[in-house]
Chains A and B, each alone.
Chain A
Amino acid sequence: MYENIIVERPEPKIGLIRLNRPKRLNALNRALMSELAQALNEFAQDDEIVVVVLTGNERAFAAGADIGEFQGKNPVDMLKSYRFKEWEAVRTFPKPLIAAVSGWCLGGGNELAMTCDMIVASESAVFGQPEINLGIMPGAGGTQRLPRAVGKAIAMEVILADRRLTAQEAHQWGLVNHVVPTELYLEKALELARQIAQKPPLALQLAKEAILKSYEMTLAEGLQYERHNFYLLFASEDKDEGVAAFLEKRKPEWKGR
């Protein structure tokens, strides 16, 4: 049983995880992150699940780290706490992961959203990295993923000057996929999940992997990586089914093999 998250299966093939510390605006404490990692690991191994939506509530996706956990800590404490271990479960989650964001999406919350593959935002979402106000800086990928999403100049302003981005601005600069009325943000994310859920799971996994590699490899290496994944899919039953269904003008039935 989870205390800080709610795990649901709203419809076939789709997993839904709700961050659930509403009184703390879903501040990401160790307990929550550990539960999130566990839930993601379970979804990763569950053949029935093709895509996962991660959300908070209308007021907050997550307002940041649980600052109380920083008090009195020195670098050695932080090192020994191994506190980013749980984030690896998000970063390496093999299936498409969609963040459905409304309200505050700050600090660790924004880093969590950016670690997902896509972001659907409500009109009232606010994105920011306010760590600088505490005499620290982003520590869960903010300085790396934000400039890759919005470019250097905007990322500098967000992280150094605590510039907050509205949903529209975040959309304009490529941080989020869709902005929709607040009442509909979760539905929109589920609609996107539904589209993805109809695709072949193995191809989803390898394509996602290849896209993420584009941030870590040279173009030549990335192209080679892509080609290997491309060839690999020719070993799958789903490739045979997909090509056959296309030629026979019928809907494919994926097996995930």
Chain B
Amino acid sequence: MAYETILYEQDGGVLTITLNRPDKLNAVTDTMLHELRDAFKQAKRDESVRAIILTGAGRGFCAGQDLASVKERDPSAGGFSYGAHLRHTYNPLILQMRELPKPIIAAVNGVAAGAGMSLVLACDLRIAADTASFLQAFIKIGLVPDSGSTWFLQRLVGPTRAMELMLRGTRISAQEAFDYGILNRVVPADRLMDETRALAAELAAAPTKAIGYIKRLADFAATHTLAETLEYEADMQELAGRTADHAEGLQAFLEKRAPTFQGR
């Protein structure tokens, strides 16, 4: 894959997407948004991809929207419309990540600020280096959290902490983020990629279809009633029950051996 602002590297069933503007703390540009959408599209299509790692190159994970590129817009051409920009770029990207039927793991190597933090929150699992930090930086420049942060954050940390993080734009350490329930794990910085790859390899060997159905269910449950969710569970279980991996899982259980899941 020839991308300018990201790296797309596959090793076995694990795809690693690396935000790659290290001299700018991987701040997000239009090109990067476009490339991320393309990369996730490829990742969805390619059956050999069964788990995805999202990480950043250099010392930061992602500093959020590249504000230089906002300032550059020609005001005579109507200036910069945040609403239109979000609707056309970040919003579909975040939905695409949630709708991708494969596990996405954030490997947070450094600061994740603003929309960079939103990207972390939109992943399914989150591991951070102990040197990483997180902030809802939006308020610092008079903006509001976007790219799903207001939705994800409350669910992860509860409304009390979410409100303080959003209103004050306070920077929290990886350990604090872990204590708040944002992260699955905090690891020493030099162990980050090994730990993440081990987890990704485990998930890449798991029944991929069922993982996709679990993602759909979890997001559905967040916005529906118990009765509706029970019905959706029945639908998803129906689908999971028809997968080859379920047949293999059942067979292996009966034969008292370890299953070999193909992701089908």
Q: Chain A: residues with CB nearer than 8 A to chain B?
A: 180-181, 183-184
Task: Report the minimum CB–CB distance from A168 to chain B (whole Å).
Answer: 10
Q: How far is the CA of A183 from the CA of B216 in the complex (A)?
A: 13
Query: Does residue B67 face the partner (Cβ distance < 8 Å to A)?
Result: no
8 other contacts beyond A180-B235, A184-B235, with CB at 8 A cut-off?
Answer: A181-B216, A181-B232, A181-B235, A181-B236, A181-B239, A183-B239, A184-B238, A184-B239
> Please, which residues of chain B bring their CB within 8 A of the CB of A180?
235
- Counting residue pairs across A and B whose Cβ atoms lie within 8 Å, the total is 10
Task: Report the minimum CB–CB distance from A7 to chain B (whole Å).
Answer: 26
Q: How far is the CA of A210 from the CA of B3 in the complex (A)?
A: 62
Q: How far is the CA of A181 from the CA of B232 in the complex (A)?
A: 8
Closest to B242 in A: A183
Task: Report the minimum CB–CB distance from A219 to chain B (whole Å).
Answer: 34
> Please, which residues of chain A bring their CB within 8 A of the CB of B232?
181
Tell me if B's interface is mostly helix, strand, loop or mixed: helix
Q: How far is the CA of A184 from the CA of B236 in the complex (A)?
A: 10
Interface string of B236-254 (1 = CB under 8 A from A): 1011000000000000000
Task: Report the minimum CB–CB distance from A87 to chain B (whole Å).
Answer: 34
Q: How far is the CA of A122 from the CA of B85 in the complex (A)?
A: 29
Task: Report the minimum CB–CB distance from A176 to chain B (whole Å).
Answer: 16
Q: How far is the CA of A181 from the CA of B101 in the complex (A)?
A: 13
Q: How far is the CA of A181 from the CA of B239 in the complex (A)?
A: 10
Task: Report the minimum CB–CB distance from A120 to chain B (whole Å).
Answer: 13
Task: Report the minimum CB–CB distance from A77 to chain B (whole Å).
Answer: 41
Q: How far is the CA of A183 from the CA of B236 in the complex (A)?
A: 10
Closest to A184 in B: B235
Closest to A181 in B: B235
Q: How far is the CA of A181 from the CA of B220 in the complex (A)?
A: 11
> Please, which residues of chain B bring their CB within 8 A of the CB of A181?
216, 232, 235-236, 239
7 of the cross-chain contacts (CB-CB < 8 Å) are: A180-B235, A181-B216, A181-B232, A181-B235, A181-B239, A184-B235, A184-B239
> Please, which residues of chain A bring their CB within 8 A of the CB of B216?
181
Q: How far is the CA of A198 from the CA of B235 in the complex (A)?
A: 24
Closest to B232 in A: A181
Interface string of B208-239 (1 = CB under 8 A from A): 00000000100000000000000010011011
Closest to B216 in A: A181
> Please, which residues of chain A bring their CB within 8 A of the CB of B238?
184
Task: Report the minimum CB–CB distance from A157 to chain B (whole Å).
Answer: 18
Closest 5 A/B residue pairs (Cβ)? A181-B235, A183-B239, A184-B235, A180-B235, A181-B239
Task: Report the minimum CB–CB distance from A38 to chain B (whole Å).
Answer: 35
Q: How far is the CA of A228 from the CA of B236 in the complex (A)?
A: 46
> Please, which residues of chain A bring their CB within 8 A of the CB of B235?
180-181, 184
User: Max chain A CB contacts within 10 Å: which of B216, B232, B235, B239?
Assistant: B235
Q: How far is the CA of A180 from the CA of B216 in the complex (A)?
A: 12
Task: Report the minimum CB–CB distance from A45 to chain B (whole Å).
Answer: 36
Interface string of B109-147 (1 = CB under 8 A from A): 000000000000000000000000000000000000000
> Please, which residues of chain B bring their CB within 8 A of the CB of A184?
235, 238-239
Task: Report the minimum CB–CB distance from A25 to chain B (whole Å).
Answer: 20
Q: How far is the CA of A183 from the CA of B232 in the complex (A)?
A: 12
Closest to A180 in B: B235
Task: Report the minimum CB–CB distance from B237 to chain A (whole Å).
Answer: 11
Q: How far is the CA of A69 from the CA of B196 in the complex (A)?
A: 57
Task: Report the minimum CB–CB distance from B40 to chain A (whole Å).
Answer: 17
Closest to A188 in B: B235
> Please, which residues of chain B bring their CB within 8 A of the CB of A183?
239
Q: How far is the CA of A183 from the CA of B213 in the complex (A)?
A: 11
Task: Report the minimum CB–CB distance from B104 to chain A (whole Å).
Answer: 21
Interface string of B177-189 (1 = CB under 8 A from A): 0000000000000
Task: Report the minimum CB–CB distance from A172 to chain B (whole Å).
Answer: 13
> Please, which residues of chain A bring their CB within 8 A of the CB of B239?
181, 183-184
Q: How far is the CA of A97 from the CA of B234 in the complex (A)?
A: 26
Q: How far is the CA of A125 from the CA of B239 in the complex (A)?
A: 19
Q: How far is the CA of A181 from the CA of B212 in the complex (A)?
A: 13
Task: Report the minimum CB–CB distance from A8 to chain B (whole Å).
Answer: 21
Q: How far is the CA of A180 from the CA of B234 in the complex (A)?
A: 11
Closest to B236 in A: A181
